Amino acid sequence: MSQENVELVRSAFEAFNRGDIEGVVAAFAPDFEYVASGAIPGVRGVYRGLERYRSFLQEFVDEFDELHVQIHDVTEAGDQVLVSVTLRVRDKKSKGKVGWNAFSLWTVRDGKVVRGQGFNSRDDALEAAGLRE
């Protein structure tokens, strides 16, 4: 995997922090697929296609304020990028602030992000990336 793949994924997280959904998906393939980890109540399953993923992101933005992702670690694994983050948000309804650690695995082919998957545990993410310790 090249540094370009890492930068593609980093730029998507940076766009998310700016609230720029179009910036998040700028380098995503039209047939992009995302598998949600289920960490967010009611957000589970597979989101197929770029339009569906945009909707997923918009639902997230609509539910929470003060969204911020802090990247802790980026690991290269062939055509995949494994990312460890802390996500912090404020719930619009309860006004409570919450944060949680999350892991995601992004697959890049021909300069486009084609797949993403969220994980609740580091071990599961490492195993999916073929990097089990």
Domain that holds residue 25: 3-128
Euclidean distance between the first and the last CA atom of the chain, given in angstroms as a whole number: 20
Q: Is residue 133 part of a domain?
A: no
**pLDDT computed for residue 40 by the predictor:** 65
pTM over cut 0.85: yes
Cα gap 121→106, rounded to integer Å: 16
Q: Is residue 31 part of a domain?
A: yes
**pLDDT computed for residue 44 by the predictor:** 72
Residues 55-93 as b/e (b if ≥16 CB within 10 A, e otherwise) read ebbeebeebbeebebeeeebbebeebbbbbbebebeeee
CA distances from 15 to 29, 77, 105, 132 (A): 17, 23, 17, 30
Q: How many domains does the chain have?
A: 1
- CATH no. for residue 122? 3.10.450.50
Q: Is residue 52 part of a domain?
A: yes
Q: What is the pLDDT along the chain (133 residues), one digit of tens a residue?
A: 488 999 999 999 999 999 899 999 999 999 999 998 876 656 678 999 999 999 888 887 888 888 899 999 998 888 999 999 998 988 888 888 888 899 999 999 999 999 999 998 999 999 998 887 6
The DSSP bridge partners found for residue 28 are 113
